[in-house]
Chain A
Amino acid sequence: MADYEAVIGLEVHVELKTNTKIFCHSTTAFGGEPNTHVCPVCLGLPGVLPVLNKRVVEYAIRAGLALNCQIAGFSKFDRKNYYYPDLPKNYQISQYDLPLAEHGFIDIDIEGQTKRIGITRVHMEEDAGKLVHQGSISTTPYSLVDYNRTGVPLIEIVSEPDMRSPEEARAYLDKLKAIIQYTGVSDCKMEEGSLRCDANVSVRPRGRAEFGTRAEIKNMNSFRALQKAVAYEIERQIDVLEEGGRVVQETRTWEENKGITMSMRSKEEAHDYRYFPDPDLVPMIIDRDWVEEIRASLPELPGQRKERYVRELGLSPYDAEVLTTTKETADYFEECLKSYPNAKIIGNWVMGELSRLLNAGNIEISLCNITPGQLADMLKLMDKGTISGKIAKTVFEEMFDSGKDPEQIVKEKGLMQISDEGAIASEVDRVLADNPKVVEDYRAGKEKALGFLVGQVMKATRGKANPDLVNKLLRDKM
């Protein structure tokens, strides 16, 4: 089999979290009874006109700058014409040949290396509504339409075809999401549809300069799905070529249940969108001073934050990368650092126990029961010797479930570490007396035997004995 190389580009749609829609005053709030977040303008009733929400332009510029783009001085909206019942005007107001932002990039970390992925453009457009079918789309007797989402502002971020593997595509999407979240212009929740992603995939024999024929993959509903779908599509195209076939230009849909991509429409069936400038909107002249004002207000972005963690906090690049991947995690980490100045220890707890519990419960860190201050308090209890590391995990789980302060939990459950030599000594004596064989092994030079004896003492004190003290006493008495 020949050696193939994949070429991947992503088109990502992100909903901007402005209070009102892009061309009217209706709310952008997610959910709500169907067709309650609407007005004549977003319903596209006869005679209505769009008026641009300036905040949308501001947010789009913010995202563009964070993605290292050049912001256009002159930009305009165009109509993208196609018929679909979720599109009330049967055209979408979008941007065609003069997008708001172009020529950007983001850096991703892949196998310890930094790789730069180009951003072709960032443009603004309005979202469509949602069809509600009775069961499957192909068998439903009728469909209902909910226009609540119609007119919610979107930016479309188009990458250059710079990615070469599903892992790179995933890393790009992770990083893109992090950057956008940092700018505060979107929640980027794939499950609520505030982040959506299509992939353009082609393959070519390694070393060849020209691209192969690409397929556009749609309907990927999670980051994992993106990675799986791209991986599948690469294999599929390689198989086609290996069997002497040709890859056809088409749009394919990812079938999550079957784990395959399926043809949706061919190039011949592709829409002719008949783009033309929207005569209801005037072109935008973008003031340079405004752009600079927005640039100056950008927060520290994940790349900068990561560098700072390595430089100032002495964290490893890996730890710094993990901690800065989402803004919420990094904010949590830094909040905790204010009360407990040991970055490494906090980092271990955040990336370890906390992350494990959040994942298991499928909980966002922002909704976590444990405040950063409480985590700091618990770490201080460990330092003071009030609780052992082992007990700390129990306390932490209890904090996670109940939100109670660590001191309270320790008190209520009697988890205070026993550091009284007398109390521990009696247990030590008993364990030594009960295990003469093990004691003999230890004396014969088997260090491992000590571990067993420590375990026995800990067990007898329900984990509360100070492990350092137990070790010391055991050694002394043997």
Chain B
Amino acid sequence: MELHYMTARALHGMLKNKEVSAEELCRAYFSRIENLEEKLKSFITLTKTQALEQARRVDAKIKQGQEIGPLAGIPVAVKDNMCTEGVRTTCSSKILYNFVPPYSATVVEKIQGADMVIVGKTNMDEFAMGSSTENSGFFNTSNPWDTGRVPGGSSGGSAVSVGAGEAVVALGSDTGGSIRQPASFCGVVGMKPTYGAVSRYGLVAFASSLDQIGPLARDVTDCASLLNVITGHDPRDSTSAPGGYRDYTSFLVDDVRGIKIGVPREYTGGGIDAGVRQVIAQAVQKLSSLGAEIEETSLPHVEYAVPCYYIIAPAEASSNLARYDGVRYGYRVEAPGDVVDMFKRTRSLGFGSEVKRRIMLGTYALSSGYYDAYYLKALKVRTLIKQDFDRAFEKFDLLLAPTSPAPAFRKGENINDPLQMYLSDITTIPVNLAGLPGISVPAGFVDGLPVGMQLIGKPFDEGTLLKVAYSFEQNTDHHKQTPPL
């Protein structure tokens, strides 16, 4: 089997048995990247020199007979909204086109601490605002299953890099579905952990109360291994959870007997593509046949999730993105007249249209006289949505839904219809609003395009999600399919 479609677990064995060196592995991935990048454009910045140095350090450890961690020497791609010391971090925005952070995000320190090899920084929707990676300030990324289609977003570059074999695993961030939806579109596993499980320190903020970093991988085992590396309390993030972390690989057991799964009827009816519905129905059948107890349930308030999200997320973003003003770093307009002119033109020219749309939405929602009607109301709806999940979890161990209402759409198809684009996250957004863990695993295909199944768990119960996802994977072969590249 070719190195570029192997899992981290398999590669770890080969590294330990000296069947391949970390440097050879690294070079193999870079040659794969060089072959595919023109077609896919997953990366904004490649870090080959640093990657080779890191790989050689791992080889030195192996040579000295030192024990290496399960992900040591494994090529990993990092979404370009996580700060990497000395390596440009752009958020796919012109306004940060030249920003080189003087510090690294906690997750970046953690993957480096695990001896992983960062191959580069991946393309995304600008400031993670979008569902197709078409809002990148630089270029589009193509879906490896059909290059005329979008990879999803906003972590499109990360999902493509894993799906196309340009990296073994990747880090993405998920504010309203930005890991799970591109994972679904690209046929890979993607998880948004519980809010607070992974430090946000060094993740360039979009919507602070919703943002969460998570893993993308070829299978559930790799996903659990990467989750082990990136989770944990971080004193630099006040919203980081102090405890509740586990060895997530310990949940990788093929046994779903007696696990109670609820299927919200809001996500099996109209609005969901017929092909997707069929894939999900088959997945339900499969899990049922394996011994899971599956029943229909209801989340009555999720129909308000999208409008609620499009108040809260832009409100926080309007404040989070205020710092990009040309004063300290990033893009600054040429020859500004005065400071106000500098602010205005730097931001007018530096931000793309979707980012500006959301800044305006958020600014409006927080304005004096509108705060109660919009922002405060949205917070109340958010509480109702949380309570829907609380009630469901009194009865069920987890919930099952499609990750996205439809498979990957064509490039340009939704770009002039922001509302249609926003609705493509209807199944993922409630999970962020409630702060819950969610995972998307490959569940089948519609017209040759991958479709993901989403499992939603109780707070800090990533373990049960991984167990069910692993069991499903062990009894299906969707994750073993590779794109026609």
Instruction: List chain A positions with a Cβ less than 8 A from chain B.
Output: 40, 43-52, 79, 81, 83, 85, 88-91, 143, 145, 272, 274-276, 279-282
Closest residue on chain B to residue A274 by CB atoms: B366
Closest residue on chain A to residue B208 by CB atoms: A279
Q: Using a CB-CB cutoff of 8 Å, which residues 219-274 of chain B contact chain A?
A: 235-239
Contact between A46 and B96 (Cβ–Cβ < 8 Å)? yes
Tell me the minimal C-beta distance from A22 to chain B in angstroms.
Answer: 13
Contact between B325 and A40 (Cβ–Cβ < 8 Å)? no
Closest residue on chain A to residue B363 by CB atoms: A274
Q: Does B163 contact A (CB under 8 A)?
A: no
Contact between A91 and B237 (Cβ–Cβ < 8 Å)? no
Cα A89 to Cα B238 in complex, Å, equals 18
| Supplied contacts A47-B83, A85-B339, A274-B366, 5 more A-B pairs, CB within 8 Å | A44-B323, A46-B329, A47-B204, A276-B319, A276-B366
Tell me the minimal C-beta distance from B308 to chain A in angstroms.
Answer: 15
Contact between B327 and A89 (Cβ–Cβ < 8 Å)? no
Q: Does B285 contact A (CB under 8 A)?
A: no
Cα A52 to Cα B327 in complex, Å, equals 26
Tell me the minimal C-beta distance from B41 to chain A in angstroms.
Answer: 23
Q: Does B316 contact A (CB under 8 A)?
A: yes
Given contacts A40-B103, A143-B339, contact A81 B239 (CB under 8 A): no
Tell me the minimal C-beta distance from A130 to chain B in angstroms.
Answer: 14
Contact between A46 and B328 (Cβ–Cβ < 8 Å)? no
A-B contact pairs, 30 of them (CB 8 A): A40-B101, A43-B328, A44-B323, A45-B83, A45-B102, A46-B96, A46-B205, A46-B323, A47-B83, A47-B204, A50-B238, A51-B235, A51-B237, A52-B238, A81-B319, A85-B325, A88-B323, A89-B322, A90-B323, A91-B319, A91-B322, A143-B339, A272-B367, A274-B366, A274-B367, A276-B319, A276-B375, A279-B239, A280-B205, A280-B208
Q: B99, B209, B237, B327 — which one has the most chain A CB atoms within 10 A of its CB?
A: B327
CB within 8 A of B105: which of A47, A85, A89, A281? A47
Tell me the minimal C-beta distance from A76 to chain B in angstroms.
Answer: 12
Tell me the minimal C-beta distance from A281 to chain B in angstroms.
Answer: 5
Q: Which secondary structure characterizes the binding site on chain A? A: loop
Q: Collect the chain A residues with CB atoms within 8 Å of residue B400's CB.
A: none
Given contacts A274-B366, A276-B375, contact A47 B201 (CB under 8 A): yes
Q: Collect the chain B residues with CB atoms within 8 Å of residue A51's CB.
A: 235-238
Cα A275 to Cα B372 in complex, Å, equals 12
Q: Collect the chain B residues with CB atoms within 8 Å of residue A48's CB.
A: 103, 201-202
Closest residue on chain A to residue B99 by CB atoms: A46
Q: Collect the chain B residues with CB atoms within 8 Å of residue A280's CB.
A: 205, 208, 238-239
Cα A89 to Cα B323 in complex, Å, equals 4
Contact between B101 and A272 (Cβ–Cβ < 8 Å)? no
Closest residue on chain B to residue A81 by CB atoms: B319
Contact between A90 and B322 (Cβ–Cβ < 8 Å)? yes
Closest residue on chain A to residue B344 by CB atoms: A83
Q: Collect the chain A residues with CB atoms within 8 Å of residue B339's CB.
A: 85, 143
Contact between A85 and B319 (Cβ–Cβ < 8 Å)? no
Q: Collect the chain A residues with CB atoms within 8 Å of residue B318's CB.
A: 81, 274
Q: Collect the chain A residues with CB atoms within 8 Å of residue B180's CB.
A: none
Q: Collect the chain A residues with CB atoms within 8 Å of residue B322's CB.
A: 81, 83, 89-91
Q: Collect the chain A residues with CB atoms within 8 Å of residue B89's CB.
A: 46-47
Cα A49 to Cα B99 in complex, Å, equals 18
Q: Collect the chain A residues with CB atoms within 8 Å of residue B319's CB.
A: 79, 81, 91, 274, 276
Q: Does B216 contact A (CB under 8 A)?
A: no
Q: Mark B313-326, 1 if CB is under 8 A from A, else 0.
A: 00110110011010
Q: B99, B103, B239, B323 — which one has the most chain A CB atoms within 10 A of its CB?
A: B323
Q: Collect the chain A residues with CB atoms within 8 Å of residue B82's CB.
A: 47
Tell me the minimal C-beta distance from A282 to chain B in angstroms.
Answer: 5
Contact between A45 and B329 (Cβ–Cβ < 8 Å)? yes
Cα A279 to Cα B208 in complex, Å, equals 6
Contact between B239 and A282 (Cβ–Cβ < 8 Å)? yes
Q: B237, B238, B329 — which one has the most chain A CB atoms within 10 A of its CB?
A: B238
Q: Mark B372-414, 1 if CB is under 8 A from A, else 0.
A: 0001000000000000000000000000000000000000000
Q: Collect the chain B residues with CB atoms within 8 Å of residue A44's CB.
A: 323, 328
Tell me the minimal C-beta distance from B348 to chain A in angstroms.
Answer: 14
Q: Does B94 contact A (CB under 8 A)?
A: no
Q: Does B445 contact A (CB under 8 A)?
A: no
Closest residue on chain A to residue B321 by CB atoms: A90
Cα A79 to Cα B366 in complex, Å, equals 11
Cα A407 to Cα B161 in complex, Å, equals 86
CB within 8 A of A279: which of B209, B235, B323, B363? B209
Tell me the minimal C-beta distance from A29 to chain B in angstroms.
Answer: 21
Q: Mark B68-101, 1 if CB is under 8 A from A, else 0.
A: 0000000000000111000001010000100101
Q: Collect the chain B residues with CB atoms within 8 Å of residue A274's CB.
A: 318-319, 363, 366-368, 371
Cα A88 to Cα B339 in complex, Å, equals 14
Closest residue on chain B to residue A89 by CB atoms: B323
Contact between A85 and B204 (Cβ–Cβ < 8 Å)? no
* CB-CB nearest 8 A-B residue pairs: A90-B322, A279-B208, A274-B366, A279-B209, A46-B204, A47-B202, A47-B83, A47-B204
Contact between B327 and A46 (Cβ–Cβ < 8 Å)? no
Q: Does B306 contact A (CB under 8 A)?
A: no
Cα A43 to Cα B375 in complex, Å, equals 28
Tell me the minimal C-beta distance from A92 to chain B in angstroms.
Answer: 11
Given contacts A274-B368, A276-B375, contact A49 B328 (CB under 8 A): no
Q: Does B343 contact A (CB under 8 A)?
A: yes
Tell me the minimal C-beta distance from A263 to chain B in angstroms.
Answer: 19
Cα A145 to Cα B339 in complex, Å, equals 12
Cα A145 to Cα B205 in complex, Å, equals 24
Q: Collect the chain A residues with CB atoms within 8 Å of residue B237's CB.
A: 49, 51
Contact between B328 and A88 (Cβ–Cβ < 8 Å)? yes
Given contacts A47-B105, A276-B375, contact A90 B325 (CB under 8 A): yes
Cα A296 to Cα B319 in complex, Å, equals 40
Given contacts A40-B102, A51-B236, A280-B208, contact A272 B368 (CB under 8 A): yes
Given contacts A272-B367, A276-B366, contact A49 B201 (CB under 8 A): yes
Q: Collect the chain B residues with CB atoms within 8 Å of residue A88's CB.
A: 323, 327-328
Cα A79 to Cα B319 in complex, Å, equals 8
Tell me the minimal C-beta distance from A124 to chain B in angstroms.
Answer: 15
Q: Does B467 contact A (CB under 8 A)?
A: no
Cα A135 to Cα B91 in complex, Å, equals 38
Given contacts A83-B325, A90-B322, A279-B209, contact A49 B366 (CB under 8 A): no
Q: Using a CB-CB cutoff of 8 Å, which residues 98-117 of chain B contact chain A?
A: 99, 101-103, 105
Contact between A46 and B91 (Cβ–Cβ < 8 Å)? yes
Q: Mark B337-354, 1 if CB is under 8 A from A, else 0.
A: 001000100000000000
Closest residue on chain A to residue B322 by CB atoms: A90
Q: Collect the chain A residues with CB atoms within 8 Å of residue B328's CB.
A: 43-45, 88
Contact between A85 and B327 (Cβ–Cβ < 8 Å)? yes
Q: Collect the chain B residues with CB atoms within 8 Å of residue A275's CB.
A: 366
CB within 8 A of B205: which of A43, A47, A90, A272? A47
Closest residue on chain B to residue A271 by CB atoms: B368
Q: Does B200 contact A (CB under 8 A)?
A: yes
Q: Collect the chain B residues with CB atoms within 8 Å of residue A85's CB.
A: 325, 327, 339
Q: A49, A85, A91 — which one has the most chain B CB atoms within 10 A of its CB?
A: A49
Cα A280 to Cα B343 in complex, Å, equals 25
Q: Collect the chain B residues with CB atoms within 8 Å of residue A49's CB.
A: 200-201, 236-239
Cα A274 to Cα B203 in complex, Å, equals 24
Q: Using a CB-CB cutoff of 8 Å, which residues 131-159 of chain B contact chain A?
A: none
Cα A276 to Cα B312 in complex, Å, equals 11
Q: Collect the chain B residues with CB atoms within 8 Å of residue A40's CB.
A: 101-103
Cα A306 to Cα B316 in complex, Å, equals 51
